[in-house]
Amino acid sequence: MRKVAVILSGCGNRDGSELQETLSLMLAVDRKGWQYQCFAPEGLFEVVSHVDDKLDEEDAEEGTLEDVPQRDIFEESARVARGNILPLDHYKASDYDALLLPGGMGAARNLSTYAFDGPRMTVVDGVLDAILETYRAKKPVCAECIAPIVVAKVLGRYGVHLTLGSQCQASEVAEGFGARHEVCGPGEVCVDAEHKVITTPAYMVATRISQVFDGSSRLIDELEVMLDASR
């Protein structure tokens, strides 16, 4: 039975993993009869309201950002995984057939610093190591929504092809890292067979959950083709 690893970044599209994207990926994997194992890094993150999409701006302006509510990435990710989750430092590429990164702003805030630093972004060490280890093992790396910016930062130097949907600020940053960006619509996927990278834009361009599920399903279909070709 094939088994894939999923890196989560919290719970909720504005400061963690996008739930509809994550669950669409999990369902698409499960429908293949495969298994998935969720991982997440540990560490605190600042909570963003899912009502008004803001931190407590008054606290931030007064220099008391420590008063903004914080939660643990690993604990929040465990909510998505129904408790079946492992610390990211337990990940070994040799144990899995592929690595999946759902979207959500957690990828830009908790797995990397893209949301804060743009083209000067860094990637969390554990995430960086997991992507590089998977790539060097010649196993597929898959990402949705904004998460391909993390892949671009780590693997862009190799000239990987990926999508962030339309031409946008994020795609320009990805190209600055050396990645080659492909415009994709809702439900479409970008397949880089040479570097074994598969991406879909999801809510970067999608407007309905059905489009997100279509993209996730096609990503997993393309992953199956890629894995079959590697046998």
Alpha-carbon distance of 81 to 62, in angstroms, equals 37
Alpha-carbon distance of 62 to 115, in angstroms, equals 21
Eight-class DSSP state of 82: T
Do the beta carbons of residue 32 and residue 1 sit within 8 Å? no
Please name which of 8, 50, 1 lies closest in space to residue 26, comparing C-alpha atoms: 8
Alpha-carbon distance of 99 to 197, in angstroms, equals 10
CB atoms closer than 10 angstroms to residue 162: 29
Please name which of 183, 112, 177, 182 lies closest in space to residue 147, comparing C-alpha atoms: 112
Catalytic residue among 142, 145, 184, 190: 145
38 catalytic, yes or no? Answer: no
Alpha-carbon distance of 46 to 157, in angstroms, equals 31
Catalogue the active-site residues.
145
